[in-house]
Amino acid sequence: DSLELSVACGEVPLLFLGWAIMCAPHAQAAMAQDLGLDDPEEGDNLYEFVEEFCMKPEVLCNFLRLVESDYSKENPYHNGIHASDVMQTTFALLQMGGDKFSSSPLELFSLLLAAACHDMGHPGRNNSFEVNSHSELSVIYNDSSVLENMHAARACRLLTRQPGDADLNADILVGLQKTQKEAFRASFTKAILCTDMSQHFAKVAQLKSKISHFGTSDPLKFYVNSDGRSMSCVLQFILHLADISNPAKPAPVFVEWCDRCLNEFFAQGDAEKKAYMPVSPMCDRDVTVKSDSQLGFIKFIVRPSFVLLSDLVPRAVDEILPILESNLRYWEDVKLKEEEEAEEEEEEGKP
């Protein structure tokens, strides 16, 4: 639970979680030592990026501090807690079996860092707002995946910056060869761009077609050509699912995330009304019904996506889909209660 983690670690959940994931097993050994415990046994589920890419843990922590500082704490939803939640969920889906669709540690390294960076600099407004307001960002990125392009650009700028004497050393790619850096940036950037919700149904259709034609046994069949490079569409889909996974979290976490998301949406809707702009879907606090928003999101977006993923990652059948079904029933009960209360109020209002 990234919400609880944020409270426990002094509101720097991305720093703590990113260190634990990217610096394993050294991070776990350090935690055990600090707590006076025996060193944890090394398992098969650790990626050991520190050795693989000659990365210093303190440099990785510097990088994560800078990334986390670029997330606005004023945003109810798109903040550092969300980034840490997406990174943790991406890691969990990989550990459940998604990592078999990777052909190299570099792909996993880039995907997990993309999860951490995927919403850097988020303004608390969506792409529709940027486009309809003719913002500077919409002009720069030609109304195409405006925020996702901005997030990727800010992250890549941080990855390639040349620090001065007073700056933190955050060059986590220093141990990579030139060709590795090029491959990293390509897959890292593409993964962030694939979090654009406007691409959702196209990505689902692409994955369904792959499964229909090739089955699920050969991970190499799920690689696609993207700008001259071969990339795993499954790994990209995993990050996208992690980004929309709040309804698949246990109670009461999924309700808290729903409230945070709608609060940010409603703030955008208020701004749109004030500027005489079209109010974006789910952003009008006067007409949006919470239960309806979640029922539609789960039924038409989240559940079908995780059902599709379960064909590739079978553990999702027992570990994710039951939670989704339970949460769906919760919102159905809320909806039923709302309707009953509305009927009672209508009856009381009759002469």
What is the per-residue pLDDT across 178-226, written as a single tens digit (0 to 9) for each? 999 999 999 999 999 999 999 999 999 999 999 999 999 999 999 998 8
Exposure string for 92-122, b = 16+ CB within 10 A, e = fewer: bbbebebbebbeeebbbbbbbbbbbbbbbbb
Which residue from 107, 90, 100 is spatially nearest to 18, judged by alpha carbons?
90
Could you tell me the pLDDT band of residue 161, with boundaries at 50, 70 and 90?
confident
The mean pLDDT of 294-300, rounded to a whole number, is 97
- Does the pLDDT at position 15 exceed 80? yes
What DSSP character marks residue 296? H
**Separation between Cα atoms, residue 116 and residue 276, nearest integer Å:** 35
The mean pLDDT of 143-152, rounded to a whole number, is 98
The mean pLDDT of 262-287, rounded to a whole number, is 97
Question: For position 302, what pLDDT does the model report?
Answer: 98
- Specify whether the CB–CB gap between 231 and 224 falls below 8 A: yes
pTM: 0.94
The catalytically annotated residue of 78, 82, 122, 240 is: 78
Question: For position 273, what pLDDT does the model report?
Answer: 98
Question: For position 166, what pLDDT does the model report?
Answer: 59
Contacts of 189 (CB under 8 A, 6+ apart): 114, 152, 156
Listed in sequence order, the DSSP H helices in the chain are: 2-8, 13-22, 26-34, 49-52, 57-69, 80-95, 105-117, 127-132, 136-140, 146-160, 178-193, 200-214, 233-243, 253-274, 290-297, 303-312, 316-319, 321-349
Question: For position 162, what pLDDT does the model report?
Answer: 72
Verify whether residue 26 is a known catalytic residue. no
Question: For position 46, what pLDDT does the model report?
Answer: 76
What DSSP character marks residue 223? E
**Separation between Cα atoms, residue 145 and residue 236, nearest integer Å:** 16
- Does the pLDDT at position 102 exceed 80? yes
Question: For position 350, what pLDDT does the model report?
Answer: 67
Question: For position 270, what pLDDT does the model report?
Answer: 98
pLDDT in tens, 305-335: 999 999 999 999 999 999 999 999 999 999 9
pLDDT in tens, 35-74: 888 877 766 567 899 999 999 999 999 999 999 999 999 9
Q: Tell me the three state secondary structure of residue 250.
A: coil
**Separation between Cα atoms, residue 351 and residue 334, nearest integer Å:** 28
Phi, psi at 231, each rounded to 5°: -130, 150
- Report the share of the chain in percent with pLDDT over 90: 85
Give me the chain's average pLDDT, please.
Answer: 94
